[in-house]
Amino acid sequence: MKNCWICGNASQTGEHRIKKSDLVERFGKGPYRGPGAPVHIRSGRTRDVQGPASALVKYNKNLCVNCNNTFTQPFDKAYEHFIAWIAKNKPVVINRRVINFEVVYGPDWETKQRDLFKYFAKCLGCRLDETDRTVPGDVAELLRKDSFTTALYVTFQVNENARTGEGVGTFPLFADKNKSTGEETGFWCGHFYRWLTMRYWYNHFSLEPVGAAWIANSKFLYLGWSDADLTNCSEL
C-alpha cells in the first residue's frame, strides 16, 4: 500500500483523474449509456465509462481520507467555482483572453485564486505519484502555505479547434531528462474542459503560446491559444 503523498499516512482513496464535477456537468450523473455516452481512451484502448464515479476515471489509492475529503476540499471548490464561471462566460473569455479573479470570486479573490492554484498542484502531484515518481517537496509543501516559492506554474489556453467542442480529458505526463545522467529535471501535463486548456509545468519552459505563467500571484489570468487535436490525448 502506498502512503498519501501529501501527509505520509496510509492511502485510502483515489483522486479523480478528471474532476467529477466536470463529468457531471458535461454528461450528467449517470449511468452513461447510448451513442452519446463518454468513453475512456488510454494507451490506445477504448472502454465505456459507466458513471462519474467509475474506477476508470480515478487514480489508484493515492491520498488518505482526510487529505482527499477535508484538507483539499477548498481547492476542489475553488476549481468547481472557476469552471462554472468559465462555462457561463465563454464569449467574454474568448474575446478578451483575460480573466479577472475578482470578477470570478468576488472580494475574497486572493484566497480563492490561491486555492485554485493548489488544486492544480494536487493534480500534478497525483500524476507524478501514479508513475511512482517522488512529488517535488515544494509542490507538496505549498498546499499548506499562504506564501510560497515553487518551480510549478500553470497556464491557460483557448483551443481554437475546440471552441464548440464538448470534450473533457487529460494530457499525458511528459518529463525532461538530463542527456548525460538521464535524471528527470522537469515535468508537464494538464487537462482540458471543453475549449479551455489548463497545463501545469514544473521546472520546464514552454516555447508555445501557452499564455502567461501563473503562480497564484496575480489578479488577472492572461490566456494563450492552441489548435491542438485533442482526440488522441484525452482520456475521455
Q: Is residue 137 part of a domain?
A: yes
2 grid coordinates = 502506498
Whether the pLDDT of residue 150 is over 90: the answer is yes
Whether the pLDDT of residue 155 is over 60: the answer is yes
The number of folded domains in the chain is 1
Q: Is residue 30 part of a domain?
A: no
Phi, psi of 72 (to 5 degrees): -95, 5
CA 188 to CA 204: how far, in whole Å?
7
Q: Is residue 65 part of a domain?
A: no
pLDDT score, position 220: 97
Nearest to 67 by CA among 58, 76, 59: 76
Whether the pLDDT of residue 236 is over 70: the answer is no
Q: Is residue 47 part of a domain?
A: no
Q: Is residue 180 part of a domain?
A: yes
Q: Is residue 13 part of a domain?
A: no
The answer to whether the CB of 97 falls within 8 A of the CB of 197 is no
**Bridge partners, 53 (sequence order):** none
pLDDT score, position 46: 74
Q: Is residue 11 part of a domain?
A: no
Q: Is residue 54 part of a domain?
A: no
Radius of gyration from C-alpha coordinates of the chain: 17
**pLDDT tens track for 191-215:** 999 899 999 999 999 989 999 999 9
- Segments forming the whole domain that contains residue 103: 72-226
The answer to whether the CB of 23 falls within 8 A of the CB of 168 is yes
**pLDDT tens track for 67-123:** 999 999 999 999 999 999 999 999 999 999 999 999 999 999 999 999 999 999 999
CA 183 to CA 189: how far, in whole Å?
18
**pLDDT tens track for 7-57:** 999 999 988 887 878 877 777 777 777 766 677 666 667 777 777 767 767
161 or 177, higher pLDDT = 177
**Bridge partners, 158 (sequence order):** 196, 225
